[in-house]
Amino acid sequence: MAGMASPRPAAILHADLDAFYASVEQLLDPSLRGRPIAVGGSVVLAASYEARAYGVHGGMAGVRARRLCPQLQFVGGQFRQYQDLGHRVMGVLRDFTPLVERISIDEAFLDVAGSIHLFGSPGEIAGTIRRRVRDEIGLPLSVGVATTKHLAKVASQVAKPDGVVIVEADSERAFLEPLPVGLLWGVGPVTRERLAGRGINTVGDLMAISPSLLEALLGRAVGRKLVALAANADPRQVESRRSARSVGAQGALGRRAVSAELLWSSLGYLADRVATRLRAAGRAGRTITVRVRFPPMRSITRSATLTTATSATLTITEVAVALAQAALADHPDEKEITLVAVSVSNLAPEAALQLALPLEVGDDGGGLGVPSPERWALDRAVDRVRERFGRQAVGFAGVSLSDVARVPEAFRELAEG
């Protein structure tokens, strides 16, 4: 396997609040501190570290959690406070760099390469941030510091609870080798089991086997991605909201049984909304992201980056469906979904070049079925008809009007996410 690819200094931080919901409850009610508590009821949404010591964790049925830890105390959840406190933490992070990319209510990436002359080394910045969040807001925050987003996130998970882990560029391999493969992004329970069946438990085990064997075991796309992550090859940059331009749409489904038809119709519908807006703005994007939410509120997100930017409805639909199917295959226990979302990012002006190149999915290198010039022409034709006769005049490429009609009645398109 190739050596570590580390052209950048270790200046990317992943800051992640510990047991966020539970920590907020303990902050607001001192009588809960030091005790095993869970936010939720029938399902555990978050568990304090005292509860985790008993094996209680988020997503677990309340009944099972109570069996594991009889003295577990359930609290209702003050969601407004979570929002406010999460917002305040982000404010602290932005004191150190404008390059803060919030990825959920309680975690964010920071690029502090440009802040070193003001605030000290990335490790010192991580320490100052942790101290300020603790002193000014009262919450424990763990931070990972590394050369890439992927590795910074791994490092923050290793740092928990309430710690900091710095992975310098020359120690990446030594850091990664002993870690369980489950810490790599995108390795779910199914992949982990399959690897364990071959005696692959650590990242080091993963590095030791040939990439072609791994691809045979997990499929080409997943295999290649894991090889890249194990070698810490992750070119993604930290993108603040201003630079992270994306176009997205999402729809609520109520509770629907998962089916191929449902995925095609709902994702096709959303992809069409997104692609139409891209084309109207003269933009195209390389990264396609799909989010699927299961009841009650667990969601998974998958992305693929194409070798060429696209604004083609059918291409975005195909990639979105493939991503959703891969995500669902990793969660075979989930039988229902409540929401799907599609977004396109990595945007650039729609280039004439797009006409000449066959579109490829970067992950598996395979060309998609329909050559892009035809897709482009088809989409343009659809756009022009709709300009004259309205949106409903014509179905979108690849999915016929009868498919659109099958979009479940309960499907509600939500505001851009």
Question: Which residues from 80-139 bind Mg ion, rule CB under 5 A?
Answer: 106
Number of residues forming the site for Mg ion (CB under 5 A): 4
| Candidate list 6, 10, 13, 16; residue touching Mg ion; CB under 5 A | 16
Return the number of the residue (13 or 249) whose C-beta is nearest Mg ion. Answer: 13
In the window 159-218, what residues touch Mg ion (CB under 5 A)? none
Binding region for Mg ion (CB under 5 A) out of 14-22, 33-41, 195-203, 334-342:
14-22
Residue 106: CB minimum distance to Mg ion, A: 4
Give the distance from CA 58 to its chain's centroid: 17
Segment near Mg ion (CB under 5 A); pick from 10-18, 192-200, 288-296, 335-343: 10-18
Give dist(CA 338, CA 332) in Å, integer: 16
| Per-residue contact flags (x/-) with Mg ion for residues 18 to 47, judged by CB under 5 A | --x---------------------------
Nearer to Mg ion, 106 or 318 (CB): 106
Binding marks (x or -) toward Mg ion, 313..332, rule CB under 5 A? --------------------
Q: Report d(CA 8, CA 150) in Å as an integer.
A: 13
Q: Which stretch binds Mg ion (CB under 5 A): 16-24, 122-130, 353-361, 363-371?
A: 16-24
Nearer to Mg ion, 14 or 279 (CB): 14
Starting from the edge strand earliest in sequence, which strands make up the sheet with 107-111, in order? 100-104, 107-111, 12-17, 141-146, 164-166
- Cβ 18 to Mg ion, closest distance in Å? 6
Longest C-alpha distance within the chain, in Å?
66
SS3 of residue 396 by DSSP: coil
Integer Cα distance of 100 and 252 in angstroms: 29
Tell me the one-letter amino acid at 44.
Answer: V
Q: How far is the CB of 5 from Mg ion (least distance, A)?
A: 28
CA distance 30 to 24: 10
Helix residue ranges per DSSP H, 166-259:
172-176, 189-196, 203-208, 211-218, 220-230
Give the nearer residue to Mg ion in terms of CB position, either 162 or 403.
162
The residue from 25, 50, 101, 107 that is catalytic is 107
Structure-block tokens of residue 343: 């977004």
Amino acid identity at 189: P
List the structure tokens of 328. 């669902």
Burial of 8 (0-12, 13-18, 19+ CB in 10 A): middle
Nearer to Mg ion, 162 or 168 (CB): 162
In the complex, the smallest distance separating the C-beta of residue 20 from Mg ion, rounded to whole angstroms, is 5
Does the annotation count 261 as an active-site position? no
Q: Nearer Cβ to Mg ion, position 106 or 239? A: 106
Segment contacting Mg ion (CB under 5 A): 15-23, 283-291, 349-357, 408-416? 15-23
What letter does residue 350 receive in the DSSP assignment? P
Shortest Cβ 90–Mg ion spacing (Å)? 13
Say if residue 341 is exposed, middle or buried (CB neighbours under 10 Å; 0-12, 13-18, 19+): buried
The nearer residue to Mg ion, 17 or 337, going by C-beta atoms, is 17
Our CB check for Mg ion shows the closer of 106 and 234 to be 106
CA dist., res. 362 & res. 391, Å (int): 32
Minimum distance from residue 368 beta carbon to Mg ion (Å): 36
Q: How far is the CB of 13 from Mg ion (least distance, A)?
A: 14
Helix (H, G, I), strand (E, B) or coil at 30: helix
CB of 46 to Mg ion, least distance (A): 9
Cα(119)–Cα(116) distance, rounded to whole angstroms?
Answer: 5
Cα Rg, the chain, nearest whole Å: 23
First-to-final CA distance of the chain:
39
Give catalytic residue positions: 107
Binding site for Mg ion (CB under 5 A): 16-17, 20, 106
